[in-house]
A and B are shown apart, each in its own frame.
Chain A
Amino acid sequence: MEFTVPTLIGIWVAAFLTLCIFSFLYHDNPLYKFAEHLFVGVSAGYWMSTYYWQSIRRDMVDKIAEGDWISIVPGILGVLLILRLFPKIGWISRWPLAFLVGISAGFNIVYTMQAQILKQIDATILPLWSGPFWNGAMGAATWSDAMVNWIIVLGVFCALIYFYFSVEHRGPFFGVGSRIGIYILMISFGASFGYTVMARVSLLIGRMLFFKNEFWPAVQRTFGMG
């Protein structure tokens, strides 16, 4: 890694701020508060700048400069949205909000229906027997595939029974079905929890690797060691 003066300063600042944040694990303290507030401020500034250069400038300002006046419409809607800050004319902000809700609902109803409902229902209609079973139609390739299909179909069915609240969950069908549904959901939550732990540990690994691969060489470079 090549260390220029700005790089060295950047690494030292990053290490200091990381330690400030980690210090919260011991106790809440002014250094943590300082790093937290700095993070919020810098993030807001960075996002504002990024949005301007990558979205407002490119998709509106430049297009208007080229004579594409229709591009001013999203800008006007954006300004109307900010009018919410002024109580007397705040009601105007409902118009762009209605536009946003309408567009989002329109797109999502169609796309969610196709990709997340119909396709998923289709993926649950699975052969539960192996080999030919009816009118020349073929079942699952092997018995183990058929067993997996049973687990998927019964799992989905029982989880749906659990969320069916119009009937009391008692008896051999709704009672047992919802009970199995709970276990299926618990397994799913367990998997999610395990993966969440993995994600958080990954963030810790990122910081540890930073200290090992960037900060320690920077310390050596700063103090002329090694």
Chain B
Amino acid sequence: MIEFLKRLDRRWIFLVILLSAVLPMIFPLKLPTVPGTDTNSMYRELQALPPGSIVLMSFDYGPSTKVELEPAATAALTHLWRGNRDIKVVGMALWPDGGPLGRTAFKKVLADLEKEGVKKTYGVDYVNLGYKAGGVVALRTIGNTGGFPGAFPKDLEGTPVSEIPLMKQARKYRDLAMIVTLSGGDPGIKHHIQVGASQYGLKVSGGVTAVSAPEMSPYLNSGQLVGLMGGLRGAAEYEVLLNINGEALKGMNVQSSVHMMMVILIILSNVVYFADRRNARR
């Protein structure tokens, strides 16, 4: 048996992982998703925003991390606008693909909320400024005397920022109530912490890919981040808090099933390793 497992072709493991991903989609496990402390904290902060607040939403991700961060973006936007809350959103991106992906997220949320009677007007309630190159330098530019118009002369659609009503209210960092960033890596959430939180005392929260979630613990611990959605699971937890059955929640059964399989495989390979070592000593 040990010899068989030692010589097992790795393609069988790929097949087992594939099956553990596909089967829960056909036969859902119905395992509960319980919101964690960081997700709860982000929910409370967004819930506490007073009417008329302006939130900077930074879409710092690309197609490779879209599957994790788009559900986080739509969950946060849904929370900001559901019940026709008067929260203004200024969208921007530190990644070139972030602008168009932000446009998709805005469209998706508005289409979903339209059924609940929520109407938001582009330029008045929200705006998508698109991409700005430079990472931390771009963010510092917003903090300079020129403010948003200096950093973003035109929005994603090519409209001069001076002609957009919302941008007359949102000129500098001090006009913002919070920064929500969906961050797929560098540049991203760390740069918003460096500039928005550290230099201008703004509250920063958002969603990050699961790979970078453990790195965020020190920032949560120090209060530089007021809440976080860590990976697809974080977005699913937020959907639970919003009581919606979104894209992230649909993937949680698969996530649990594949993780269980991974744990079984790790235990099995350790058993094989130690058994083999014992045999070799004999």
Contact = CB atoms under 8 A, between A and B. Distances in A.
A199 interface: yes
A183 B222 CA distance: 23
Contacts of A197: 259, 262
Given A58-B154, A202-B210, A202-B255, A195 B231 contact: yes
B267 to A, nearest CB: 15
B14 interface: yes
A55 B64 CA distance: 21
A108 B100 CA distance: 29
A204 B21 contact: yes
Contacts of A59: 132-133, 153
Question: Which residue, of B11, B66, B223, B254, has the highest number of chain A Cβ atoms within 10 A?
Answer: B254
B214 A191 contact: yes
A196 B153 CA distance: 38
A225 interface: no
A7 interface: no
A115 B210 contact: no
Interface stretch (A46-54, A82-90, A136-144): A46-54
B222 A208 contact: no
Interface in A173-226: 188, 191-192, 195-199, 201-206, 208-209, 212
Contacts of A47: 96
Interface in B195-232: 195, 197-199, 209-211, 213-215, 218, 221-224, 230-232
A123 B209 contact: no
Contacts of A169: none
A165 B49 CA distance: 49
Interface residues of A, number: 41
A206 B210 CA distance: 14
B154 A62 contact: yes
Interface in B117-147: 130-133, 136-137, 140
A120 interface: yes
A112 interface: yes
B67 A208 contact: no
Contacts of A192: 211, 214-215
A58 B138 CA distance: 14
A195 B11 contact: no
A205 B137 contact: no
Contacts of B99: 54
B153 A63 contact: yes
A166 B236 CA distance: 47
A122 B222 CA distance: 8
Interface of A: 25-26, 47, 50-51, 54-55, 58-59, 62-63, 103, 107-108, 111-112, 114-116, 119-120, 122-123, 152, 188, 191-192, 195-199, 201-206, 208-209, 212
8 contacts: A58-B153, A115-B224, A119-B222, A120-B222, A195-B231, A198-B210, A198-B259, A208-B22
